[in-house]
Amino acid sequence: MNNKSKIRIRPVGKADLLEWLVMRRALWPDCPTKKHREEIAEILADRNDQPAWVAESPDGDLMGFLEASVRNYADGAGRQNVGYLEGWYVKPKYRKQGVGRVLVNEAEDWAVSRGFSHVGSDTWVGNMSSYRAHKAMGYREAGRDVHFVKKIKTKSKK
Ligand SMILES: CC(C)(COP(=O)(O)OP(=O)(O)OC[C@H]1O[C@@H](n2cnc3c(N)ncnc32)[C@H](O)[C@@H]1OP(=O)(O)O)[C@@H](O)C(=O)NCCC(=O)NCCS
């Protein structure tokens, strides 16, 4: 699979639910299945502002997916509506063959069609393949977050 013209990008459909869930679980393994299902239902009910696409091979295999959204802020773009890459995943055997790029191009076309001037995205520190792929696609680093958490005493239930 190395011919980009053979990669078919289409909006995710109800027939893709199982495979989409499998790919989502590979991307976000810490997310409970129930939460995945809720988010999938939410996305399918809001295609305008939460579009999602799958990349399909000529023999009908799903190679990856991309979920986007409208956010009202992105680091580096300021407080304005932007397209945002929420979930970007290509199955390992299809990586480095242009599938991810075609998915992102689709999301960028959608953002242009919505009149947005920027597309934002993020990844976790240490995800170097994602970092390098973003850079290769023309995304510049716009900031880094540090997350904190503190375990607090819980009230004993009466
Ligand atoms: C990130 C990911 C979606 C990229 O998908 P992909 O199909 O391999 O991407 P492509 O083949 O279209 O590559 C797009 C560009 O990024 C570059 N790239 C992709 N992976 C790379 C890597 N590991 N190191 C360096 N560059 C890389 C490619 O060379 C290409 O640039 P080029 O066209 O100038 O050569 C895929 O690696 C993946 O699913 N990773 C695991 C999940 C993940 O981290 N998702 C992103 C979370 S934000």
Residue 26 falls inside a structural domain:
yes
Question: What does the buried/exposed string (b/e) look like for 122-153 if buried means 16 or more CB atoms within 10 Å of the residue's CB?
Answer: beeeeeeebeebbeebebeeeeeeeeeeeeee
Q: What share of the chain is helix, strand, coil (3-state, %, to 5)?
A: 35, 20, 45
46 CA distance to ligand 1 middle (Å) = 27
pLDDT digit of tens for each residue in the chain (158 aa)? 446 678 999 999 999 999 999 999 999 999 999 999 999 999 999 999 999 999 999 999 999 999 999 999 999 999 999 999 999 999 999 999 999 999 999 999 999 999 999 999 999 999 999 999 999 999 999 999 999 999 999 988 76
Number of Cβ within a 10 Å radius of residue 93: 9
Closest-CA residue, ligand 1 atom 44, reads: 130
Atom of ligand 1 nearest to the CA of 101: 12
Residue 155 falls inside a structural domain:
no
What pTM, to 2 d.p., does this model score?
A: 0.94
Domain count along the chain: 1
Range of the domain at 74: 4-136
Half-sphere exposure of 157 (CA within 13 A, CB side): 0
64 CA distance to ligand 1 middle (Å) = 11
Closest CA to 89 of 136, 33, 21: 21
Residue 121 falls inside a structural domain:
yes
DSSP 17-74: HHHHHHHHHHH-TTS-HHHHHHHHHHHHT-TTTS-EEEEE-TTS-EEEEEEEEEES-B
Which helix (H) or strand (E) segment holds residue 119: the answer is strand 119-121
76 CA distance to ligand 1 middle (Å) = 22
- For residue 123 and ligand 1, the question of a CB distance below 6 A is answered with yes
- For residue 27 and ligand 1, the question of a CB distance below 6 A is answered with yes
CB 93 within 8 A of CB 131: no
- 132: CATH: 3.40.630.30
Pocket probe mutation, ligand 1, options 23, 130, 134, max atoms within 8 Å of Cβ: 130
Residue 92 falls inside a structural domain:
yes
The pLDDT score that the predictor gives to residue 140 is: 98
Residue 49 falls inside a structural domain:
yes
Residue 119 falls inside a structural domain:
yes
Q: For the purposes of burial, counting CB atoms within 10 Å of the CB of 84, is it exposed (0-12), middle (13-18) or buried (19 or more)?
A: buried
The pLDDT score that the predictor gives to residue 130 is: 97
